[in-house]
């Protein structure tokens, strides 16, 4: 197996994966704040993390992944207050819809998905340790992290503290800080807000400290990978490092991996532009979750993903090419010696696919390897080289790649093609094959006018023919 290399935001360079335990990768991923339906920008990050865990397993590692659910912060508290609900009643439907989206897109569940509200004791313990080590101080029932005590601060983001001047105006809720740059670990209760008891009086945790406490509880003081969208690098992840390393005196995370933004039609997603789509919006428009998954996997995680409806159609088209190959293979004549070229193509797919994933999760290159294989199989079908066992060999090669991609098997996607649609797609392929055969028959009879007529009919349907010594190949334009 090739040794995986991933871009490390800490140090800003490609670096070999270097897990604490050689064959086990411990991953922490910042989960959703459960105050609304997640949009496709969030889903891009979660799909990248699904690709990451599946790729690592494909490369021979065991994986333990933690994804937290932020169920207490300003947004959830405000939302619950406005709705007149308890925090738990308010967040529960959003948690459920989050899991529904995850399932719809075939994302694997992390091994642990802790909620902040269920880890208040661990959070309090971490804050107490930071006070004891003099990295944090209490003020009017709140606790703040003292950035001046942490010379390392800024090492992840390159953030220059000198840029933030002391004495700048302090936000209301952070009243009482010694230094404007300090951030809250514990926030004293305000009227009408949910609160937990603590050594500093009733209050609630800050967002950043939730992730430090929960990641170290499940993964240990030093673990392998920490992921999220690039928007979390500062201040969230910078603050996580500050809290965790100040509390333990140990390196917190070996490898920081961040996925780029998703933009829509070249523009930033925003409520005001009306382009903040949810998965449900796309499904309501008739697109399939399968195409969404394919599209999101096909763009390298460190590149901006420019979402357009045309790109989603392109993804559906790419999947159709795989489905058609499967269909033709299922109906091809099989017999005789297994085909050596096909066996070689299957071996090359496996090697190239794996190497691409090990190379900083280059899913685009992995998909390119897949389509080279699809083409090879189509050629083998057209040249009638499908020997005994070749069908199984092709199916096994696709299934192996699909352990990571999980988009190649249409039968696994009930929403992707209702049975009726599936039949229609198969009928369409059968009709094309019938016409290609009829044209060949006409040409054998030297009825070239009829042959040309059929060629034009196929061209009108977007089918391009290529005559070779072994027979006629067809493909979609
Ligand atoms: Zn986090």
Q: How far apart are CA 374 and CA 201, in angstroms?
A: 64
Band the pLDDT of 418: cuts 50, 70, 90: very low
More confident residue, 159 or 8: 8
* Span from the CA of 18 to the centroid of ligand 1 (angstroms): 22
Q: Sign of the CA dihedral 195, 198, 200, 204?
A: negative
Tokens encoding 219: 């993964």
Q: What is the CA radius of gyration of the chain?
A: 27
pLDDT > 70 in the chain, percent? 95
pLDDT at 419 (0 to 100)? 42
**Range picked from 80-84, 248-252, 381-385 for highest mean pLDDT:** 248-252
pTM here is: 0.87
Question: In angstroms, what is the span from residue 413 Cα to ligand 1's centroid?
Answer: 31
CA of 237 to the centre of ligand 1 (A): 7
pLDDT, one tens digit per residue, over 24-35 is 999 999 999 999
What pLDDT digit, counting tens, does each position of 176-191 carry? 788 888 999 999 999 9
- Cα of 213 to ligand 1 centre, how many Å? 10
pLDDT for the residue 11: 95
Across 119-128, average pLDDT: 98
What was the pLDDT predicted at 464? 84
Compute the distance between CA of residue 465 and CA of residue 458 in angstroms, rounded to an integer.
Answer: 8
Summarised one tens digit per residue, pLDDT across range 288-300 is: 999 999 999 999 9
Q: What distance in angstroms lies between residue 97's CA and the mean position of ligand 1's atoms?
A: 20
Average pLDDT over residues 248-271: 95
Residue 457: per-residue pLDDT: 87
For residue 163, pLDDT over 80 is answered with no
CA of 228 to the centre of ligand 1 (A): 8
Q: Calculate how far, in angstroms, residue 422's C-alpha sits from the geometric centre of ligand 1.
A: 42
Check if the beta carbon of residue 114 is closer than 8 Å to that of residue 57. Answer: no
- Distance, in Å, from the CA atom of 336 to the CA atom of 389, rounded to the nearest integer, reads 9
pLDDT (tens digit, 9 = 90+) per residue, 361-416?
999 999 999 999 999 999 999 999 999 999 999 999 999 999 999 999 999 997 54
Average pLDDT over residues 312-328: 96
pLDDT band at 167 (very low <50, low <70, confident <90, very high): very low
Average per-residue pLDDT for the chain: 92
For position 342, what pLDDT does the model report?
97
Q: How many CB atoms lie within 10 A of CB 325?
A: 21
β-strands 262-264, 253-259 pairing: unpaired
Using DSSP's 3-state secondary structure scheme, residue 415 falls into: coil
Q: How far is the CA of 66 from the centre of ligand 1 (A)?
A: 11
CA of 292 to the centre of ligand 1 (A): 25
CA of 206 to the centre of ligand 1 (A): 11
Percent of the chain with pLDDT over 90: 80
Q: What pLDDT does 93 receive?
A: 96
- If you measure from the C-alpha of residue 465 to the centroid of ligand 1, how many angstroms do you get, rounded to a whole number? 53
Cα of 31 to ligand 1 centre, how many Å? 7
- pLDDT, one tens digit per residue, over 7-19 is 999 999 999 999 9
Q: Please, is 58 exposed, middle or buried when counting C-beta atoms within 10 Å of its C-beta (0-12, 13-18, 19+)? A: buried
Measure Cα distances from 36 to 31, 47, 378 in Å. 13, 19, 46
Element (H, E) at 314: helix 309-331
CA atoms within 13 Å, Cβ hemisphere of 107: 27
Measured CA distances, 205 to 184, 189, 247, 262 (Å)? 8, 10, 16, 30
What pLDDT does residue 246 have? 98
User: Are 37 and 251 a contacting pair, CB within 8 Å?
Assistant: no
Q: How far apart are CA 271 and CA 213, in angstroms?
A: 32
| Banded model confidence at residue 165, pLDDT cuts 50, 70, 90 | low
Of all helices (H) and strands (E), which one includes residue 70?
none
Please confirm whether the linkage preceding 428 is cis (ω < 30° from 0): no
Vertex 316, ends 313 and 322: CA angle to 5°?
150
Tell me what the mean pLDDT of segment 221-239 comes to: 96
Ligand 1 centroid distance, CA of 211 (Å): 5
Q: Separation of 475 CA from ligand 1 center, angstroms?
A: 47
Give residue 133 CA to ligand 1 midpoint distance, Å: 23
Cα(93) to centroid of ligand 1, in Å? Answer: 21
Q: If you average pLDDT over each of 33-37, 223-227, 448-452, which comes out highest?
A: 223-227
> How far away, in angstroms, is 152 Cα from ligand 1 center?
19
Compute the distance from residue 468 Cα to the ligand 1 centre, in Å.
57
- Packing angle, helices 120-132 and 207-219, rounded to 10: 100
Pairing relationship of beta strands 223-229 and 24-29 according to DSSP bridges: parallel
Mean pLDDT on 126-146: 97
pLDDT band at 428 (very low <50, low <70, confident <90, very high): confident
d(CA 208, CA 185): 7
d(CA 434, CA 413): 28
Whole-angstrom Cα distance, residue 451 to residue 465? 12
């Amino acid at each position: 197996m090739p040794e995986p290399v991933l871009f490390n935001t800490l140090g800003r360079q490609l670096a070999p994966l270097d897990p604490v335990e050689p064959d086990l990768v411990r991953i922490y991923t910042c989960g959703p704040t459960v105050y609304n339906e997640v949009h496709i920008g969030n889903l891009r990050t979660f799909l990248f993390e699904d690709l990451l865990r599946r790729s690592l397993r494909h490369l021979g590692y065991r994986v333990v992944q933690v994804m937290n659910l932020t169920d207490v912060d300003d947004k959830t508290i405000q939302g619950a207050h406005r709705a007149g609900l308890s925090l738990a009643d308010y967040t529960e439907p959003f948690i459920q819809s989050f899991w529904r989206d995850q399932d719809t897109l075939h994302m694997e569940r992390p091994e642990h998905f802790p909620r902040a509200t269920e880890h208040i004791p661990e959070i309090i313990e971490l804050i107490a340790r930071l006070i004891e080590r003099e990295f944090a101080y209490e003020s009017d029932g709140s606790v703040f992290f003292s950035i001046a005590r942490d010379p390392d601060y800024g090492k992840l983001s390159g953030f220059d503290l000198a840029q933030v001047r002391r004495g700048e105006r302090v936000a209301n809720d952070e009243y009482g800080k010694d230094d404007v740059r300090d951030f809250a670990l514990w926030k004293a209760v305000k009227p009408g807000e949910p609160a937990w008891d603590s050594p500093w009086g009733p209050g609630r945790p800050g967002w950043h400290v939730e992730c430090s406490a929960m990641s170290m509880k499940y993964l240990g003081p030093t673990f392998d990978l920490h992921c999220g969208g690039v928007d979390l690098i500062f201040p969230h992840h910078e603050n996580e490092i500050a809290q965790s390393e100040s509390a333990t005196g140990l390196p917190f995370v070996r490898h920081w991996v961040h996925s780029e933004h998703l933009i829509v039609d070249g523009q930033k997603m925003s409520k005001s532009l009306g382009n903040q789509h949810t998965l449900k919006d796309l499904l309501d428009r008739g697109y399939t979750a399968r195409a969404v998954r394919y599209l999101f996997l096909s763009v390298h995680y460190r590149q901006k993903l420019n979402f357009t409806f045309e790109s989603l159609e392109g993804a559906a088209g790419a999947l159709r090419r795989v489905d058609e190959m499967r269909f033709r293979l299922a109906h091809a004549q099989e017999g005789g010696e297994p085909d050596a070229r096909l066996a070689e193509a299957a071996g090359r797919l496996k090697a190239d696919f794996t190497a691409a994933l090990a190379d900083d999760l280059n899913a685009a290159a992995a998909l390119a390897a897949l389509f080279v294989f699809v083409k090879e199989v189509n050629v083998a079908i057209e040249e009638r080289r499908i020997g005994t066992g070749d069908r199984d060999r092709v199916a096994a090669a696709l299934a192996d790649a699909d352990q990571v991609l999980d988009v190649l098997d249409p039968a696994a996607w009930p929403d992707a093609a209702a049975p009726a649609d599936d039949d229609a797609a198969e009928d369409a392929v059968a009709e094309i094959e019938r016409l290609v055969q009829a044209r060949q028959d006409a040409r054998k009879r030297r009825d070239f006018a009829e042959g040309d007529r059929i060629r034009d009919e196929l061209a009108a349907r977007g089918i391009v023919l290529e005559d070779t010594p072994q027979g006629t190949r067809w493909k979609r334009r």
